[in-house]
Amino acid sequence: MCLYLCYVSTTESHSNKMNILSNGVRRIGVSLMQKPLHGLHVATLQINHPSWTPTLYFQSHLPKMISLTSPLTSAPYKRPETFSKNEDKLIREHVKLYGETEATWNNLAKTLGRKNPYYIMVRYKYYLKGDPKVEGRFSPEEDRIILEYIEKNGKSSAAFQSLTHLLGRIARYSVVQTRHDNLVSGNVRKPRSWKLEEQKVLLKHVFKIKDIKPYDIKSLTLGPGKFADVSIHLNRTQSSCYKQWVDKVCPILKTFIKGLPFDCEWKITVIRYIVDNKIENEKELSLIAEELCPGQTKSSVSHFVNSISYKNVNGKRKKSELPLWKKLSDGESVQAIISLKDGKRGQRKLQNDNLLIEYYESFIE
């Protein structure tokens, strides 16, 4: 949920107010905000919340406090929780009986003990409706369908929603919309592995924008928005730069700062913990990820577990529907890690890690 306020002088014309709003809205977040606004026009824009119809309105000379809340819930924003198979089944059955209405989402939220019915709606609409199964990178065939479908049906939200269902994609329609925009603009980047020199650029960027204290792990924490500039320099997406930082670079630095060995033992520890404790999904593991692997981040542990959750089926990598511990109980993943550690690839990674640490030390000396 995003709420934006723009304070506009009473002397401005309506068209100027609209220009000021579009060019200079000020983000205030999602918590309730109260502020006296005497003698001012207030332009309030509500966006990025599918349960609302975006509205724009002006009011003059408000001698009172303004409160902003969500029509569905006054609870602060919270990342959507995961859903179990039984909960998904209940959602499907309930929608089949009562339809896709606000009352349905509210009733399901109460039944499932969820505070925000919006996420029930999102779960059904984008992850359950039509039983979508496709995820991951877009194939050339999907790119062709996207371009042809939008050229024929236009760029409306409804068109992208229908296209998402047509592709069988487990995603919100905005993912397909972004893919279309990238295809049209020629901004589609082919996946490529990260090189040591790029990691150094990433590290240098972090030291440039933030006061990193020597050997202070907490100061290494950054949000995704901090990687916008360096993503342009590296010709990579902002998401790719952020994931490389939290999944690869930050764990290398944490391992060094804590004086831990640079090996693959933490991966074997994670697999054995999952199997021994019959961990069914990544959410259960995330609660103790950093305690179990002090040299890693929650994101790097999740990335590793997700990568080994796939199995080769008829020459294609597919994610198994089995509980996490059953996927890994055959011991194949442990043997693969041991082989990797002793192979040339493992030795090359260790060498690159040491070179990155040397580069890190050059900044803190």
Residue-wise pLDDT tens digits, 74-95: 333 344 457 888 898 999 999 9
Claim to verify: residue 176 and residue 238 sit in the same structural domain? no
Claim to verify: residue 158 and residue 22 sit in the same structural domain? no
Claim to verify: residue 275 and residue 353 sit in the same structural domain? yes
Residue, of 148 and 125, whose pLDDT is higher: 148
Q: For residue 76, is it within any domain?
A: no
DSSP tag of 76:
P
The alpha carbon dihedral of 237, 240, 246, 251 has a sign of negative
Closest to 267 in 3D by CA, of 334, 329, 190, 339 = 334
Predicted confidence at residue 364, as pLDDT, reads 80
Q: For residue 134, is it within any domain?
A: yes
Predicted confidence at residue 187, as pLDDT, reads 65
Is the predicted pLDDT of residue 97 greater than 60, yes or no?
Answer: yes
Domain count, the chain: 3
Give the Cα separation of 255 and 266 in Å (integer).
Answer: 11
For 91, 92, 130, the CA distances from 107, given in Å and listed in that order, are 10, 13, 22
What are the residues whose beta carbons fall under 8 Å from the beta carbon of 318, sequence distance 6 or more? 310, 311, 312
Claim to verify: residue 149 and residue 100 sit in the same structural domain? yes
For 152, 182, 217, 261, 264, the CA distances from 244, given in Å and listed in that order, are 38, 21, 17, 21, 18
Stretch 304-317: mean pLDDT: 75
pTM flag (> 0.85): no
Which residues constitute the domain of residue 58? Answer: 2-65
Claim to verify: residue 170 and residue 201 sit in the same structural domain? no
The last residue of a domain, from among 185, 205, 236: 185
Give the Cα separation of 303 and 285 in Å (integer).
Answer: 12
Q: For residue 75, is it within any domain?
A: no
Predicted confidence at residue 341, as pLDDT, reads 62
What is the tens place of the pLDDT at every residue in 231-273?
888 888 788 899 999 999 999 999 999 999 988 889 889 988 9
The last residue of a domain, from among 133, 152, 185: 185
Predicted confidence at residue 58, as pLDDT, reads 32
Chain-centroid distance, C-alpha 167: 21
Claim to verify: residue 34 and residue 172 sit in the same structural domain? no
Claim to verify: residue 134 and residue 222 sit in the same structural domain? no
Q: For residue 221, is it within any domain?
A: yes
Predicted confidence at residue 247, as pLDDT, reads 95
Claim to verify: residue 241 and residue 342 sit in the same structural domain? yes
Is the separation of the CB atoms in 295 and 254 below 8 Å? yes
On the CB side of 54, CA atoms within 13 Å amount to 10
What is the tens place of the pLDDT at every residue in 276-287?
999 888 778 878
Q: Which residues of 40-67 are buried (b: 16+ CB within 10 A; e: fewer)?
A: ebbbbbbeebebeeeeeeeeeeeeeeee
